[in-house]
Structure 1
Amino acid sequence: MGVAALVEPQVIKISSKRQITIPAKFYESGSFKEYALATWTDDGLLIQPLDVDDEDVTVDILRYLIEQGCEGEELIARYREMKRKIVPIKAKLDEAERDIAEGRVGSAREMQERLREKYGLYG
């Protein structure tokens, strides 16, 4: 997960309009840009950077939608909807490889032990 997984948790406020602000240190270490992907998991809300400028993905999405029979305005609308949900896998793999090469990651077991020690978790 890189450096971002090692940043101290931080309490953030939710506005009356249900909006949150991503703290600067998380924003920078996570390489966020204009979009983020929010996913509900068993552990809570996961927010990930989302790159919507990957042209290879664009072609794949359009091919898929055309195969599904979409055209005209429906094609455009469904494309925009799907494009927002794409997570740039290649960039994430490249980042993970850099983290490994530069020694910023350890085994899952090591991470579990650090978290147990730090937060008094047992299990």
Structure 2
Amino acid sequence: MIVSDQNTIVWKRARVSSKRQVTIPQKLYEQAGIKDEVEFSIQDNQIILRPIREPSENEQFADLILADLIDQGLTGQELLATFRQKQKELRRAVTNLIKDSEKAAKHFDKNANDETDELFGDLMED
């Protein structure tokens, strides 16, 4: 179905191949924001298809922070307040890490004694 406005639904028909494959009409594909993967479910004999949205790095960190705080026994408003504080701290830490990396890259001297090879040489050979 293609939604042309909030009250009108336009249905599109497609063939199912012998391999059970269906081509999604371009407008539907674009409207749904489909990228590489979709997931399926069935409800009341209707197949529901929706795009897979990979969590951003921030969301992945958020899940880890939240799980850690729950493991610490935090609940309710205390959990929410601590979670928000940890997210601010993480944002600050990442921003500082990026600044430090950019500064180090600007001042990198190929002829100077570089500890990178000493520290990570075995990993860099791959």
Which band: TM-score by shorter chain?
0.3 to 0.5
Taking structure 1 as the reference length, the TM-score comes to 0.40
- Bigger Rg, structure 1 or 2: 2
Structure scoring higher RCO (CA < 8 A, sep ≥ 6) equals 1
Q: TM-score, normalised by structure 2?
A: 0.39
